[in-house]
Amino acid sequence: MRVLLIDDHALFRIGLRELLERRGIDVIAAEGDCDEGVRLASVRDPDVVLLDMRMPQMSGIELLRRLRELGLQMPIVMLTTSRDESDVIDSLQSGAQGYLLKDMEPEELIAALQQIVQGQTVVAKELTGVLAKAVQGDAREQSPAAISFADLTPREREILCHLAEGQSNKVIAKHLGISDGTVKLHVKAILRKLDVHSRVEAAVIAVEQGLCGRKPSTTG
């Protein structure tokens, strides 16, 4: 696993690099400058990028969006102390594949990164309640029909349950024997029918309503 770390706190950055390298993970760079971090992400093609949430040049979410606007598709993970509900939701809606906390155990962090590189979306277990509460709050403001599953086709229900396990489009496509593009179209239809803005919101609603009988994949 090749990791790029972008964090303006030198002690944390250096310490995490050493910790990961001791466990056999290749940290291609541990950078404190956001612009240099963007350049390295573009030219070094890491397997996963770890971003701090609060940095002086730009926020982690702004940096995340900039990387996505450049067309970079590798998993990007927020590694932060922030447990703020809006930070969690904004990160996932902006294309993060993970939201992890800096106080998690090293083994949990590495396990989460391995899951993320394999195509799963991972949210620290301490924050799943925050995520569910946010989605439930949105749901209470909607009419009951807005979160009805009646309009979903059998295939859309099947894909929604894979979303509830934190799987990426690529993993779902492989599992179902269909193309990534077909999965993407189904996901768009699911979000439209459930009147939500992100696949994570759809997954949480599915779990809360007991549609799949299982919880999204989380760790940390």
Helix (H), strand (E), coil (C) string for 41-107: HHHHCCCEEEECCCCCCCCHHHHHHHHHHCCCCCCEEEEECCCCHHHHHHHHHCCCCEEEECCCCHH
**CATH code for position 55:** 3.40.50.2300
Is the pLDDT at 135 greater than 70? The verdict is: no
pLDDT digits (tens, 9 = 90+) for 143-175: 443 446 778 888 998 999 888 887 888 889 999
Strand partners, 79: 100
Whether 146 and 47 map to the same domain: the answer is no
Whether 14 and 101 map to the same domain: the answer is yes
pLDDT at 220: 41
The residue type at 192: R
Query: Across residues 35-45, what is the average pLDDT?
Result: 93
Query: Across residues 121-135, what is the average pLDDT?
Result: 72
pLDDT at 109: 92
pLDDT digits (tens, 9 = 90+) for 60-116: 899 999 998 898 989 999 999 988 888 888 888 888 888 999 988 888 999 999 989
Whether 19 and 109 map to the same domain: the answer is yes
Mark which of 84, 118, 152 sits at the end of a domain.
118
Whether 107 and 143 map to the same domain: the answer is no
CA distance 86 to 54: 14
Largest CA distance in the chain: 52
Is the pLDDT at 218 greater than 50? The verdict is: no
pTM of the model: 0.63
Mean pLDDT of the chain: 83
CA distance 54 to 103: 16
Mark which of 57, 83, 118 sits at the end of a domain.
118
Mark which of 61, 91, 118 sits at the end of a domain.
118
